[in-house]
């Protein structure tokens, strides 16, 4: 029997996409990358791993609903069951959320509900909190607000710079996201 299929949504570098691909053995196949930035580095990574891509430019569509309908069509055509957001810099609208209810997860570089939105690592660093971390959560209509699946703490040290902190957080992300995906896929098969 064919493995369950998943899509990753990403807008930028794609280090999480790469971590997911490298991890392998997830219980599902990453069969599509959705990207809203034609020049994004993640597209080179998709090519390297031979993952088909759907790249779009939001402003070419008359509305958010219109581009999301096209995304849902791409997902359906590719037989996608799970959606993993990995640095996708857009809030999902009703069209995708309804089509994939309970099947979309996201990774965010803070201990949600603290520091949602953009530059979560910078927000934590500037706030001089003792610890921050990484959250994997289900996606709803809000900005980083869906039910939390897993979290891991990252301590902020006196000597940290924004770069050293970012590196440690990314290491945690790259370890945590594939593990959570694997567990989630496994649980839903049982």
Residue nearest to ligand GRF (CB): 87
* Tokens encoding 156: 């902020």
Q: Are 141 and 114 in contact (CB under 8 A)?
A: no
Give which of 53, 81, 58 is closest to 69, Cα–Cα: 58
Q: Are 120 and 110 in contact (CB under 8 A)?
A: yes
Q: Across-strand partners of 35?
A: 10, 55
Residue from 6, 7, 10, 30 in contact with ligand GRF (CB under 6 A): 10
* Nearest distance, CB of residue 12 and ligand GRF, angstroms: 4
Stretch near ligand GRF under the rule CB under 6 A, chosen from 50-58, 61-69, 76-84, 102-110: 102-110
Question: Which of the following is catalytic: 48, 76, 108, 174?
Answer: 108
Stretch near ligand GRF under the rule CB under 6 A, chosen from 14-22, 27-35, 54-62, 97-105: 14-22
Identity of the residue, 69 or 182, whose beta carbon is nearer to ligand GRF in the bound complex: 182
Distance CA 21, CA 17 (A): 6
* 48 tagged catalytic: no
* Tokens encoding 25: 């053995």
Peptide bond into 113 cis (omega under 30): yes
* Nearest distance, CB of residue 13 and ligand GRF, angstroms: 4
Interface characters, 109-148, with ligand GRF (x: CB under 6 A): x---------------------------------------
Q: Are 75 and 82 in contact (CB under 8 A)?
A: no
The footprint of ligand GRF (CB under 6 A) covers 10, 12-16, 86-87, 107-109, 173
């Amino acid at each position: 029997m064919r493995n369950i299929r998943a899509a990753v949504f990403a807008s930028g570098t794609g280090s999480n996409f790469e971590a997911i691909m490298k991890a392998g053995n997830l219980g599902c196949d990453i069969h599509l990358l959705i990207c809203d930035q034609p020049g994004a580095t993640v597209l080179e990574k998709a090519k390297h791993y031979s993952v088909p891509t759907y790249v779009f430019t939001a402003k070419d569509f008359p509305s958010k609903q219109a581009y999301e309908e096209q995304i849902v069509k791409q997902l359906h055509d590719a037989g996608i069951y799970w959606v993993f957001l990995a640095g996708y810099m857009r809030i999902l609208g009703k069209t995708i959320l309804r089509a994939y209810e309970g099947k979309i997860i996201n990774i965010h570089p803070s201990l949600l509900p603290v520091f949602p939105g953009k530059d979560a690592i910078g927000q934590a660093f500037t706030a001089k909190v003792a610890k921050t971390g990484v959250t994997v959560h289900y996606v709803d209509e809000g900005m980083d607000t869906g039910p939390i699946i897993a979290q891991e703490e990252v301590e902020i040290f006196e000597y940290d710079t924004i770069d050293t902190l970012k590196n440690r957080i990314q290491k945690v992300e790259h370890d945590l996201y594939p593990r959570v995906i694997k567990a989630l896929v496994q649980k839903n098969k049982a």
